[in-house]
Each structure stands twice: as C-alpha cells, then as structure tokens.
Structure 1
Amino acid sequence: MTIPIIIDCDPGHDDAIAILLALAHPEQLQIKGITTVGGNQTLEKITNNALKILSFVDTDIPVAKGAKGPLLGTLVTGEEAHGESGMDGPVLPPSRFRPIETGAVEFIREILLASDEPVTLVPIGPLTNIATLIRAYPELKSRIAGISLMGGGIAYGNVTRTAEFNIYVDPEAAQIVFESGIPITMSGLDVTDKAAIFDDEIEALKTRGPVSVLVGELLDFYSIFGKKMGYHGNALHDPCAIAWLLQPQLFQSKMLDVTVETQGIYTRGMTVGDLRTKTDRQPNVNVLMDVDRDAFIRLLFDALAILDARYVQQASQGES
C-alpha cells in the first residue's frame, strides 16, 4: 500500500537525506509535494537546496515556498550546523527546477482536497506552515491521516538544555500542531540521537555511486558541528520521520501526553512529556524512544543504492 505524503522541510543536510530516503521508495511513499519553511537557513536558501537535491536525482516534484519565519518573533537559523548556504559541503549545480507560484499552505490545501484518501504530513523543520494550515482550515484536519514529524525531545534539547531546534524556532506553531488532535508520531532527540552514522560508514558511502557520494559529502560537513558538541557519530535526525513510515518495526515508542512550553525563561520550546503512569489527560503523541541503529543504517544504504542505480540508468539514457 502506497502512503501519500507531503514533506515540509528546511534543507538542511539531514532534510536532504530524508528526501532522498523517501524518493527511493515510490512503491511505499507517494510524494505529492514538498513545501519549505524558514529554519536551518533563510527561506530562499533552503528552497534552493530542496530544488538542487531534486535536480541532482532528476526528479521533478512540485516545491512550494512557505513561511519565512515563525508565527511570532524573528527567525533563528541553524547556520552553525548547516553553514552559510544551509547545506554546505558538496557543490551542487544550479537546479533545473523552480518553485511553483502557489504558496505552501494553499498548496497543501489543494493536495488534501484533491486526494482520494487522507494524506500524511511529514514536517521535518519548524512547524509554522502546518500550524498556519490548521489555523486557517481546521475543517481539513479530517483529510490528514497523521503527522510524522522530526522535532522535540522528552529528555533534553540541543539548542537549549530543554529545547530542540525545530520546536525552538517556532514554539507557538508547535503548540498548535500538538494540540490539533491529529495523530502525531514524534521523532525527537530521544530517538534521533541514537540513529547515528559513524565515520567509517560515511567513508564507505564515498566509495559507492553518485548519490551515495553526495550523501557522504553532506555528512562530512554536517558531522563537524556534532563533533564540536561532543557527539560520537552523526545523528540522522530528519530521516527518522521517513524511516518510521517505511519500517515502523525498527522503532520503539511510547504514547505520551506532550505539550509545548511557550512561556518559560529556561524552557521555551520544550516538548514536555508526561511520563507518569497515571494522568488526567489522554496521550496525544506517539513518541519514538529507541531505534535499531544497524537496521536503520542498512535501510539508508539500501535506499541510496537504489538511487545510485537509478542515477546511472538515467545518465546512460541521456547519452543515448
């Protein structure tokens, strides 16, 4: 059974890898569109990055530009981790594709209305576009099968001691999404930090085909920041939200009541999970807590092998 999805993203090294992972499995995931949101870098830069990735693998999927910044305040970017372009490292040629004229929220609305079945949203950046959609068109919630998001962390944060980047950038938007009543699966730091790729595996990628080499070069740059922060291995955050749709059996999870802190001096952007055994609120989020790392890495390598073969085939067809 093929799941129709919309990827909402801010590429971003791990966003790019998540897109590639989804593209390798058209028999399981039908990407109806990609929307972009200011996050890891400014909207223009990350939209350009999404288009470059699609152009590299010669896949024309509609890309719609979304919010430039959060619902409140100004945009905080992830330049320290992702560089000046938002996807520093490999030098990719300019994209042959351009974003569509329709904005992200209206584009998502059109897809939801036109689809014969509910669509799964996969937001792997700040939740501004998704919150805006829910607030503008609450009647469309029934057309959303679920949300598989990357963001948050029950145990700790990475921008502050309590807040993960995607939620920290727009906690008001995250609060709207988490309180929407839509089924949510959360790939937070509790699981994504365990979905790490190590240096020898990154080197192995660079001995394979063109798409694998690209991912290896992306990870060369992306791992610099992780090592500065003391991590052993490079966490593949955003691909977890796609991997859960492809192979949910790789993950262990808990249903928790999760709220988003928007006011705290030290806790703004924190995803507060209720870990008590008895509570007066119903759990609203399927929180991924652990992953079979080796199987996760095999899933990634297998996906890149598919894309490598497709790349070579497309190149040979272009020469003939």
Structure 2
Amino acid sequence: MTPIILDMDPGIDDAVALSIALTNPAIDIKLLTSVAGNVSVDKTTINLLKLTTFFKQTQVPVARGAASPLQKEFVDASYIHGVSGMPGYEFPTVTTQALTIDAVSAMAKVLSEAPEPMTIVATGSYTNIALLIQKHPDLLNKIKQFVLMGGSLSGGNVSSVAEFNIFTDPDAAKIVFKSGVPIVMIGLDVTLKALLSLHTIDAVASLGEAGKMLHQLMTAYGDSEPGGKPMHDVNTICYLLKPEFYTIKDYWVDIITEGPAAGATIADTQNRWSDGKINAKVAVDIDTETFEKWFIEQIPVMNQYLESTV
C-alpha cells in the first residue's frame, strides 16, 4: 500500500478522487486535510467528513486547513461546484469531527512519525503545503514527493494562462515549486483530455450505491468540455496507481504571482533560463480511453468495499 496525505477542497471532482482513494486497497490515507478553494474551508472540511462517513472510513483523520490564501483575497468556485461544494446527493448525517489541531500541525505529526518518506497529494490550492514548508523545513526530507493537480502549459481555465488551484494561491504555489521536494504536476494539459463522456456518467448511475452517489454529484458538476466532463482531481489518484497512462516531461516550472498573468505556470521548455535544472515532472498527455475504462472499473471496487463494511 502507498501511504499518502491527501490535501483537498471538495468540490465535486475532489469527491470523486477521494471516493477512489478511500476504497482502493493500494492506497493508505494517513490524513485528510481541507483547504479553502472550490468552497470555504468550513464546507470543504464537512465534505471530507461526509465522504469518510459514506464509505465508513471514519477512522481516517480529517484536519481543517487554511481559510484563505497566503496573500490574495479568497474567491471560491461555487459557480461550478454549487453552494455546498457537493450538491446532488443526500449524504448520511456526519457524526464525526475534524481533529482539534490544524492541518499543518497534523501533517507535521504524521510526517514526523512516518517510518519512510510519504507522498502528499494536493487537489486544491497549496496553502497548507506552503505553510508546512515554512513552519517545518526540517520535515522536507520526510516528503517523498508532491503529486499536484494544478497548472497548465497550454492555457488556463480562470484566465488565459492560469489554472484555478494555482490562481487561488499563486504565492503558495511558488513556495512549493521552490521547495526542492520532487513534484509531479498534473494540470489542464491532461485533465482537459481525461474526460468522462456523458454516456459513461449516465452508466455509472446503475452501478450500486457508490455509482448512484457519484452520478448525482457528477451531473451537478458545472464544468464541462465538448465530449464530456473533466474530473481533474481524479488524475492525481490515477497517476499514483497507473503512472503508465501518462506522458511525463521534466521541466523547471516557475509561478507568476502578480499582474494579469498571476497564477500562470511557466516551464522552461527551451532551456533558456533554468540552466538545465528540473523541479517538476509535468504530465503533458494521457491515454484517454484507458483512463475512462479504468475509472469505470473503480465503481465496483467502491461497492465491494461498502458491502464488506456493512
């Protein structure tokens, strides 16, 4: 099993990613942390608890994270993810609570106690991770890698150049990319290709209670492209489990933090200013048919997990 810390802002595509991560036997979630992003941190925290309750994984600790970016004003994406962040399905009543310590303290505790360096997966803005780097630089050697949903080399989705997670807190992203920790950047270059067709989304509805829940969330999702809906954050979990689906290139990536290009991820694709240095493995392509097939195969796994915990 791969032990991970999962930092999220659910959010519909986060919820789909977490559903896979909570039930796949190859992944061991040691900590879930929330951050303000798609909706407020109060809502993203309760959404994490809703999903751990739904999948009877209440033993997985949840910690509340940053309520706002490091410097800029917080603006959510409720116009895409709905007011609650996870509309469309009536989740069971949450009976658990988040930890009494904050996300950064919880991350530090898990890392310090881990026998081996751990992967941190982030599907929201990187505010919590940046604060971890600033407050606990002594723990960087306990981080194996960051697997990040965010960024783009080919254009943005909140401006002509900026992807939402990076745009939400570009100052945090800059700290993360300068940290020296190995990074896998999974951005819009692949997530806008890894679409679930409307036919697939409709078919999921008949695949047990997990399929019903996911179908209702996905049909409420305001993000769509010609050919289907992108489940951006699912790609982080897919990469952990099936890295062979992705074409990866090594680049030095920098973050623009100010001006009209704030939130842009700039890669030195021509080796003009990085002196050959590399700080990120960037996903630039994906086997889309295999991704969609793999996704459908995850739904029976979720239902088997639900049935085994009844």
Tell me whether the two structures share a fold, i.e. TM-score over 0.5: yes
Range moving further from structure 2, 301-310 or 6-15 = 301-310
1:155: Cα distance to partner? 0.8
Contact 2:198 2:227 survives alignment (8 Å): no
Alignment of 1:1-12 (within 5 A): 2-12=1-11
In structure 2, C-alpha distance between the alignment counterparts of 1:125 and 1:281, rounded to whole Å: 29
Report what 2:277 is aligned to.
282
The unaligned stretches of length 5 or more in structure 2 are none
Aligned match of 2:205: 206
SS at match of 1:77: coil
- Counterparts in 2 of 1:166-205, with a 5 A limit? 166-205=165-204
The one-character-per-residue Cα deviations of 1:56-102 (angstroms, maximum 9, x if unpaired) are 11112100001001001221101110010011221212212211111
Q: Does structure 1 residue 124 correspond to structure 2 residue 123?
A: yes
- Tell me the SS of whatever aligns to 1:276: coil
2:266 paired residue number = 272
2:90 corresponds to: 91
SS in 1 for 2:14: helix
Structure 1 residues 73 and 266: CA distance shift in structure 2, 3 A? closer
Does structure 1 conserve the Cα–Cα contact (< 8 Å) formed by 2:23 and 2:305?
Answer: no
User: Per-residue CA shift, 1:219-272, capped at 9, x if unaligned?
Assistant: 1011xx234xx5431011001111111010011011111000012x22001011
**What secondary structure is seen at the aligned counterpart in 2 of 1:134?**
helix
The question of 1:52 aligning with 2:50 is answered yes
Residue 109 (structure 2) aligns with: 110
SS of residue in 1 equivalent to 2:104: helix
Cα pair 1:9 1:34 within 8 Å, conserved: yes
The Cα shift of 1:191 comes to: 0.6
RMSD between superposed Cα atoms in Å = 1.2
Read off the aligned partner of 1:260 and give its amino acid letter: I
Secondary structure of 1:116's match?
Answer: coil
Contact 1:257/1:284 (8 A) holds in 2: yes
Question: Mean Cα displacement is larger for which, 272-281 or 63-72?
Answer: 272-281
Instruction: Tell me the residue number matched to 2:286.
Output: 291
Identity of aligned residues (%): 37
Structure 1 residue 25: deviation in Å?
Answer: 1.9
Q: Where does residue 318 of structure 1 map in the other structure?
A: none
Secondary structure of the residue that 2:74 maps to in structure 1? coil
Q: Could you tell me the TM-score, scaled by structure 1's length? A: 0.93
C-alpha contact (below 8 Å) 1:187/1:287 kept by paired residues: yes
Distance across 1 between alignment mates of 2:255 and 2:238: 24
- Contact preservation (8 Å) 1:207, 1:213: yes
User: What does 1:30-49 align with in structure 2 at a 5 Å threshold?
Assistant: 30-49=28-47
Contact 2:40 2:67 in 1 (8 A): yes
AA matched with 2:3:
P
Query: 1:251-305: CA deviations, max 9, x gaps?
Result: 1011111000012x22001011111155524121100011111221222222221
TM-superposed deviation, 1:312? 2.6
Contact 1:24 1:304 in 2 (8 A): no
- Amino acid paired to 1:294: E
Q: Which residue of 2 aligns with 1:254?
A: 249
Question: What is the SS of the residue equivalent to 1:201?
Answer: helix
Write the distance in 2 (CA, Å) between the matches of 1:262 and 1:281: 23
Contact 1:190 1:289 in 2 (8 A): yes
Deviation beyond 2 Å, 4+ runs, structure 1: 312-315
Residue range with higher mean Cα deviation, 45-54 or 89-98: 89-98
Q: Provide the secondary structure at the position in 2 that maps to 1:226.
A: coil
CA distance in 2, matches of 1:62, 1:71: 24
Please give the secondary structure, in 1, of the residue aligned with 2:244. Answer: helix
Distance in 2 between residues matched to 1:232 and 1:159, nearest whole Å:
20
CA contact (8 A) 2:207 2:299 kept: no
Supply the distance in 2 between the matched residues of 1:97 and 1:252 (Cα, whole angstroms).
40
Give unpaired runs (5+ residues) of structure 1.
316-320
Q: TM-score, normalised by structure 2?
A: 0.96
Question: Following the alignment from structure 1 to structure 2, what is the Cα–Cα distance between the partners of residues 150 and 284?
Answer: 15
SS in 2 for 1:33: strand
Verify: 1:64 aligned to 2:60, yes or no: no
The residue matched to 1:122 in structure 2 has which SS?
strand
Q: Tell me the distance in 2 between the aligned counterparts of 1:208 and 1:86.
A: 23
2:81 matched to which residue of 1?
82
